[in-house]
Structure 1
Amino acid sequence: MEYIKVLLPSIGVGLLFWYVMRGILRSDSVEREEMERYYRQMDSEETAEDHESSTGVAEENHPHGTRNEGRPD
């Protein structure tokens, strides 16, 4: 019983350290996956814009409208 009383604080601190480190490592891996997904999305959008500008084809729902928007007919 004496050994348990002596080792219990160390075991508790060790478990707390393990839990905190596990959380940090998991959050880091999740963040890296999200950043990779974000960069892939940005690259695909950039590639689509490059393709659009090189072919001269504009999307119908372009967020910036058309070039002659606001000009008199």
Structure 2
Amino acid sequence: MFDNYKDGLINVFGINIYYKIYGNGKNKLLILHGGPGGSHDYLLPLSSFAKENNTVIFYDQCGCGRSGEPKDIEN
């Protein structure tokens, strides 16, 4: 696994979504985890692609992993 990363939360429509970014390369690779209820953790070995001039972006879907859940699912 590639060790140099930044992570945090971004607010999307009132829900905090967790992200983790490896590398700072020209090419962007967005990693989508399966569900329901899982997280990106099992896909972290893919962070090694950051060593090849790529930026590898992981995130946890709404209600999964370290991301928040919607308070009002009606809206």
Q: TM-score range by the shorter chain?
A: under 0.3
Structure 1 length-normalised TM: 0.20
Higher strand share: 2
Structure 2 length-normalised TM: 0.19
Higher helix share: 1
Whichever of the two has the greater Rg, that structure is 1
Higher RCO by CA contacts (8 Å cutoff, separation 6 or greater): 2
